[in-house]
Amino acid sequence: MGNKECKELKKREESMLKNGSLLLEKLISNFNGKYSNPIRIFSAKELQKAAGNYSGNLVFNHDELCNSKWYNGFLEGQVISVRRYFGVLYTEYVINEFCLVAQISAQKSVLKLLGCCLGTEIPILVYEFPANRNLNLLLSWKNRLKIGYEIASVMAYLHTAFPRPIIHRDINPYHFFLDQDCVAKLSSFLFSISLPEGKTMVKDKDFGSLGYLAPELLSSGLYSERTDVF
């Protein structure tokens, strides 16, 4: 093994150790050590191959706010989505997304998480592939009403299904995908938070997309179920 390969291997091992420790800590914090859902861990090489060496031709969504690109990939006979992060983004946010989505992936209007790769500086997340991409499609009024209902349902699920309601903090059309049946799938939980038990709101930094933020956030910095609904 050459010097370059040794350095790359060492870097992957360091990333795996750092990211794995953060993931374990977050899982224990979120699920009180009782989390039992299986977690598929992918290697950096198999995801790179699945996404065609991260070819620009396979990018189907570029989320500039979250510094990420979504790639159409193919792995083990299955079409997948590979979400790769760039630039200045704290690993903690990606770990946060992984842990939250792993908890709620069974909900039909949440884009299903398949696994992750911890052997890169910033973890890479792997999701099911949304056949109809995002909400930019021209849709019939019947489908629009159905999608509106699905969006409302998934938000109600986040806010009521757990002892600590989940606040998404960046609800906007660009974070919903559509599957082959035009079912709306919510994604992008990087900045999502769980309210402390017994609390109805929490103060935090401003996160979200301009034009979709509740007006009171700019002055109070308080997040609640209502700021998601806005």
Q: Is 204 a catalytic residue?
A: no
Domain limits of the chain? Answer: 3-128, 141-229
Q: State the average pLDDT for the chain.
A: 84
Lowest mean pLDDT among 19-23, 202-206, 222-226: 19-23
Identify the residue with better confidence: 92 or 157: 157
| Confidence category of residue 49, pLDDT binned at 50, 70, 90 | very high
pLDDT, position 128:
95
Q: Tens of pLDDT along 111-121?
A: 999 998 888 88
In CATH, the number for domain 3-128 is: 3.30.200.20
Q: Is pLDDT at 29 greater than 60 in this prediction?
A: no
| Confidence category of residue 19, pLDDT binned at 50, 70, 90 | low
This prediction's pTM:
0.86
Q: Is pLDDT at 4 greater than 70 in this prediction?
A: no
pLDDT, position 177:
94
Q: Is pLDDT at 9 greater than 70 in this prediction?
A: no
- Regarding the domain delimited by 141-229, which CATH topology (the fold level of the hierarchy) does it fall under? Transferase(Phosphotransferase); domain 1 (1.10.510)
* Cα–Cα distance, 224 to 133 (Å, whole number): 29
Query: Among 110, 85, 112, 116, which residue's Cα sits nearest to residue 22?
Result: 116
Query: Among 85, 90, 83, 95, which residue's Cα sits nearest to residue 30?
Result: 95
Percent of all residues in the chain with a pLDDT value above 90, rounded to a whole number? 46
Q: Of 63, 170, 179, 228, which is the active-site residue?
A: 170
